[in-house]
Amino acid sequence: MRTAKLSNHSIKTKYYRIITLLFLLLVVTVTILFFYINSQQSRLKAEREVLQTKANTIDELAGALNEVFFRARGYIALKSSNELTLLNTALENLDGILDQYATLNLSPEEAEYRDALSDYYTNYKNQTLPKVIKLVEIDDYEGIRALSQSGSTQSLNDFLAYTKAFKSNSDEQLSYMADRSIRKADLYTFVAFGISAFLLLFLTLMIWRMLKVLIDPIVRLEEATHSLAAGEAVLLGRLHKQDEIGRLYEAFLNMAHSIQDKEEELTMQNEELQAQQDELQDQQFKLERSLIEIESIMKALNQTSAVGILSDKGLFTYANDNLGKYTGYSHSEMIGYPFRLLELLNITDSQLEQIFYKLSTGGIWSGEVETLVKDGSASVWLHMTVMPYLNDEGMVYQYILIANNITSLKSAQQQLAVTLQNTEQTTVMLERYNQLNHELTYTLDKQEFAGKFSRFMNQIYAFDSSLFFLVKDKIAVVKGVPQDKVERYLDHHHLDMLHRLQEEKSYIVKRTGSPREQGISPDEVDCYDYYTSVVGGNDEILAVFCGSRIGHPFTEEEISEIQGLVSRVALAIERIMMYEEIEHGRKLNQDIVNNVNEGIQFVNTEGVMQHINKALSTLFHYEWTEGSLVPADDWLDAFTGKSNESAELRSFYENAMAESAMESSTMKYSLGKEEIQHVDVYAIPVLRREDRIGTLFVHRDITREYELDVMKSELVSTVSHELRTPLSSVLGFTELLLSKTMKPEKQLKYLETIHKEAKRLTELINDFLDLQRMESGTQQYNVEPAHLSEIVLGVIDQYKLSSTHHILFEDEAVHDEVAVDKDKIVQVLTNLLSNAIKFSPGSHEVKVMLHNEPGRILVRIQDQGLGIPKNQIGQLFQKFRRVDNSASKRIGGTGLGLAICKEIIEKHKGSIGIDSVEGVGSTVWFSLPVQLAEDSRPVEEMSKWGADKELKPSVMIVEDDYSLSLLLSEELKGKGFRVTHHYHPQKAFDQALKTPFVAIVVDLMLGVELDGWDLIRMLKNDPRTEKVPIVISSALDQTDKSLLENVKTYLTKPYPPGELSNTLQEIVEIKLKSGEVLFPDNDL
């Protein structure tokens, strides 16, 4: 397959192909040329023949015509018949030629000429000639001449001329044709030359190409061969040809590669050899150096050490000077002598045997050897190394011995060992000190400290009993001493001891042991008591240590050790005391800081919060544990987040903490949403010496001041309104009076109004003044004994005519003797009552209740009004304070009333308060101390029905005369009744429906609309109240008999009050005895 393919591409095949192609091309071209020339020549020949024929024919024609004319003229001239016969023959000849001419291939010109000739001839032959013949026959030569004159002869001449012209023309043509054939022959010759030239060119091209294809690679191959020979890299690209050259290339490349590979291998081997050689040289060099080194080592060794060489038998064969110097033997005394010459003190014979055994097996021995010098006067310590030399069979043939004198080293070592022992002892001591130090350093409590120290001493010095005693704090720690003895020491005995210790720092008492100390020992034992004091910086005895040992005296070391320990303890005690002092100071500071109302916050320069006090922690509800450090971001977020002015507070903090802020700064912010707290904070940089160590923030809760400010400004506007209204009236009416004329009645009315308003104005101003006076403490109180019930009734009496509210008075107070400024109490009551009325616009009733509590009397004023929000109750008694809601705001008032009341009541040693439910109503109460007269009966005795309020029989008095009401109520209360006052029949009836009364006392003369009788009628007509006994108290006589049957008793005024109480008591007693139900059933 490959060979076949190769043969297709081989150069030989290509050569054959090209030659064949060229030959074929030549044959085809020559053949075509030959045939083409041949045909051209034959065509020319035929044309030439035609032309020749035409020329001949025309020649013949011309001859024939000449013949005809010649015979015709001859006949005419001769009139011979022979001539005529000859003429006819000429004519026939001409006919034949004409016919022949007509058959020729004629050009159109020739054809026209032929036709003209033919016509002429026909005309001549058929007409002219017969006419002429006739004319001849008749001899009319005149006619003949005329005829010839008419033109026939002319045309004949023309024809002849034409013939001549034609003849010459055809001759010309012939000669032209000959020229053309010659030119054509020239052309052919040229073409043949061109073809041959082309072929030659083609052949040259082919050969050139062939050469190029063949020669170039060969040349390159040659170059490659040269470079290969020169050992350079063969830069011969692969020839992508499959012919012989290609294969040659491939073969050459393969050869080149294999040559190169071989060459590389050789180079490598060569290099290896080179390296080996280098190494050998190096080793040689090293060996030489080693030799020198060994020599110098030997020299050095000889300088510093003793060197000896022994034979395999152990005889010295060499010994250097040093060896002699160390041992005292001379050179000659050693060489040839055995090793045993040296007497080894620290090595036994058996050890020596072992050593030699080891050496004989090739081992090296090294060790310290003590040997006697020659004269035996001293010993020398040598550090000796013995090394055997083995021959090829592994047998020892000599030993080398190297020894160093270490005698001085040895003695130094021994000294060191002694020192070390001493050091160890010191270390133990120090460790003890350290242990004590350690224990004491971490103790800041004196008791614990004393315990630790005592334990330590007992442990280390084995005291059988001991006492450690801190003088100032009277703290004692004991071991093996009974408690009573300790007390004795602490109490007085120690004074002697202290006195002695003042003089000498420590002392030891040796004594005979007590029986207890003697224990089971049959003999007496000695006891040693060691006393020492711990002395502080200013020679003050801080503590005393006494230790007792039975039968063990104290060594000097122990005493000095203990002294050392004690001086350390002094430092420790002083440290503890200092710590306590500092701690105390710190605690004090902390307590101060924590108990300050202001919130205090300290932030270091990095913004880390290091301390806040309790007040601040409470203010921000921020949990902080003592000592914890809070990064700036954390506390800033927590603090500013709680403020309503978050961003401003943050920037205040940041500005204050900025390094540049060296001045103090302040700002105000608020906290909380519902109960807003107003805080004023100021920041001051804190400096230690010159350096800033942080910033201190002091937060002061200014809510009160803030609210006070707000209240004050509110008050100003309220007051301005309150003052302007009466002023408007006063000014207005005055102006009307001045500017208008009017009736006297009207004038009077105006004046009254002006007067009233002016009074109102005065009251208002008085309120302010009162309060101002009270606050400044200049208010005068005219205290005198009085009955509170009387005062209350008096005030209520003034409200009787109020159209809006009915005032109910429930009086249970048995003791109402008080020492008061009556006017002031009236002022309080008026104020509270008008408040109750003002603030209960929706209801129509205000209830006043009076009762005793131990030692005091309580007044409660209850309304069913707006009530007061819980959180505001506490603030109500503050100045300028009114209930802050829209409903109450509209009611107006100075807001001073309750503050005034509070001032007054408190000045009377009483208290005042409010219980209120918002939307349900309020009860304002105040209490005053009761002035018990010497002869007055205790409350318990007076109450026949017990002290229980609920069990007290309740009586209602319906009476509009307040002095009479008062009289009756005093009497009834004295008898233990609970009294309810009413002045309005309808209200009284309503009340009777609600409250169970034992009896109702009715005055007949009551209001205008209803009177006592109406009330009685209502009571009796209602099933719920019909059973209630009624007592009439009237100035009138018994008039209405019809109703009297329903009335229990009819008392006609004036009657002694005792009569009423007796009557009522009777009623109650009867009811109790008979078991009658006293009270209307509530369920009914």
Query: Nearer to another protein by C-beta: 209 or 755?
Result: 755
| CB 79 within 8 Å of CB 136 | yes
Which residue pairs from 265-274 have beta carbons closer than 8 angstroms and sit at least 24 positions apart in sequence? Answer: none
Binding residue (CB under 8 A) for another protein from 101, 159, 463, 733: 733
> Which helix (H) or strand (E) covers residue 929, if one does?
strand 921-929
What's the closest the beta carbon of residue 1027 comes to another protein, in angstroms?
A: 45
What's the closest the beta carbon of residue 747 comes to another protein, in angstroms?
A: 11
Query: Nearer to another protein by C-beta: 111 or 716?
Result: 716
Query: Nearer to another protein by C-beta: 890 or 1073?
Result: 890
Query: Nearer to another protein by C-beta: 210 or 891?
Result: 891
What Å distances lie between residue 599 and 594, 633, 664, 758, 905, CA to CA? 8, 20, 16, 50, 36
Contact between 840 and another protein per CB under 8 A? no
Closest CA to 541 of 498, 503, 486: 498
Contact between 731 and another protein per CB under 8 A? yes
What's the closest the beta carbon of residue 827 comes to another protein, in angstroms?
A: 24
Closest CA to 402 of 382, 374, 419: 382
Query: Nearer to another protein by C-beta: 631 or 892?
Result: 892
Binding segment toward another protein, per CB under 8 A, in 70-78, 80-88, 696-704, 751-759? 751-759
Tokens read off for 930: 């009761």
Contact between 762 and another protein per CB under 8 A? no
What's the closest the beta carbon of residue 710 comes to another protein, in angstroms?
A: 16
Binding residue (CB under 8 A) for another protein from 293, 735, 1026, 1069: 735
User: What is the bridge-based pairing of β-strands 806-811 and 817-820?
Assistant: unpaired
What's the closest the beta carbon of residue 720 comes to another protein, in angstroms?
A: 6
Helical pair 985-994 and 1012-1021, crossing angle rounded to 10 deg: 30
Sheet containing strand 599-604, strands side by side: 609-612, 599-604, 691-701, 677-688, 665-671
Q: What residue type is 55 in one-letter code?
A: A
Query: Nearer to another protein by C-beta: 494 or 805?
Result: 805
Would you give the DSSP letter of residue 643? B
Query: Nearer to another protein by C-beta: 408 or 741?
Result: 741
Binding residue (CB under 8 A) for another protein from 143, 536, 732, 869: 732
Binding residue (CB under 8 A) for another protein from 311, 725, 830, 923: 725
Binding segment toward another protein, per CB under 8 A, in 129-137, 727-735, 846-854, 898-906? 727-735
Binding residue (CB under 8 A) for another protein from 17, 183, 226, 740: 740
What Å distances lie between residue 416 and 409, 789, 1046, CA to CA? 10, 111, 134
The helix, strand and coil proportions of the chain, stated in percent and rounded to the nearest 5, come to 60, 20, 25
Contact between 920 and another protein per CB under 8 A? no
The per-residue DSSP string of 566-628 comes to HHHHHHHHHHHHHHHHHHHHHHHHHHHHHHSSSEEEEEETTS-EEEE-HHHHHHHT----TT-
Q: Would you put residue 324 in left (φ > 0), alpha (ψ -120 to 50) or beta? A: alpha
What's the closest the beta carbon of residue 758 comes to another protein, in angstroms?
A: 11
Sequence length of the chain is 1084
Contact between 720 and another protein per CB under 8 A? yes
Closest CA to 1027 of 1079, 1082, 956, 1083: 1079
Binding residue (CB under 8 A) for another protein from 12, 485, 586, 721: 721
Query: Nearer to another protein by C-beta: 2 or 890?
Result: 890
What's the closest the beta carbon of residue 664 comes to another protein, in angstroms?
A: 35
What's the closest the beta carbon of residue 779 comes to another protein, in angstroms?
A: 30
Contact between 758 and another protein per CB under 8 A? no
Contact between 472 and another protein per CB under 8 A? no
The per-residue DSSP string of 373-388 comes to -TTSS-EEEEEEEEEE
Contact between 1007 and another protein per CB under 8 A? no
Cα first-last separation, the chain: 142
Q: How far is CA 31 from the centre of its chain?
A: 106
What's the closest the beta carbon of residue 803 comes to another protein, in angstroms?
A: 13
Contact between 891 and another protein per CB under 8 A? yes
What's the closest the beta carbon of residue 750 comes to another protein, in angstroms?
A: 8
What Å distances lie between residue 278 and 271, 273, 289, CA to CA? 10, 9, 16
Closest CA to 1074 of 1063, 1082, 1066: 1066
Contact between 890 and another protein per CB under 8 A? yes
Q: What residue type is 537 in one-letter code?
A: G
Binding segment toward another protein, per CB under 8 A, in 336-344, 874-882, 887-895, 922-930? 887-895
Contact between 839 and another protein per CB under 8 A? no
Binding residue (CB under 8 A) for another protein from 736, 993, 1043, 1047: 736
Query: What residues contact residue 73 under an 8 Å CB cut-off, 6+ apart?
Result: none
Residues 962-1001 that bind another protein (CB under 8 A): none
Query: Nearer to another protein by C-beta: 100 or 725?
Result: 725
Query: What are 697's strand-pairing partners?
Result: 601, 683
Q: What are phi and psi of 604, to 5 degrees?
A: -80, 180
What's the closest the beta carbon of residue 725 comes to another protein, in angstroms?
A: 6
Residues 374-403 that bind another protein (CB under 8 A): none
**Torsion sign over Cα 1080, 1082, 1083, 1084:** positive
Would you give the binding string for another protein spanning residues 253-292, x where CB under 8 A is met?
A: ----------------------------------------
Closest CA to 609 of 593, 629, 590: 629
The Cα angle at residue 589 between residues 588 and 591, in degrees rounded to 5:
65
Binding segment toward another protein, per CB under 8 A, in 141-149, 208-216, 720-728, 908-916? 720-728
Binding segment toward another protein, per CB under 8 A, in 339-347, 557-565, 657-665, 725-733? 725-733
Distance from C-alpha of 718 to C-alpha of 711, rounded to nearest angstrom? 10
Tokens read off for 635: 């506390």
Size of the site for another protein (CB under 8 A): 23
Contact between 739 and another protein per CB under 8 A? yes
Binding residue (CB under 8 A) for another protein from 892, 919, 1056, 1058: 892
Query: Nearer to another protein by C-beta: 525 or 736?
Result: 736
Query: Nearer to another protein by C-beta: 152 or 888?
Result: 888
What's the closest the beta carbon of residue 605 comes to another protein, in angstroms?
A: 47
Q: How many CA atoms lie within 13 A of 773 on its CB side?
A: 13
Contact between 885 and another protein per CB under 8 A? no
Contact between 747 and another protein per CB under 8 A? no
3 state SS for 32-44: HHHHHHHHHHHHH
What's the closest the beta carbon of residue 722 comes to another protein, in angstroms?
A: 8
Burial of 604 (0-12, 13-18, 19+ CB in 10 A): middle
Binding segment toward another protein, per CB under 8 A, in 551-559, 717-725, 944-952, 1025-1033? 717-725
Contact between 355 and another protein per CB under 8 A? no
Query: Nearer to another protein by C-beta: 760 or 856?
Result: 760
| CB 89 within 8 Å of CB 62 | no
Binding residue (CB under 8 A) for another protein from 107, 348, 538, 717: 717
Radius of gyration of the chain (CA): 83
Contact between 766 and another protein per CB under 8 A? no
Binding site for another protein (CB under 8 A): 717, 720-721, 724-725, 727-733, 735-736, 739-740, 746, 753, 756-757, 890-892
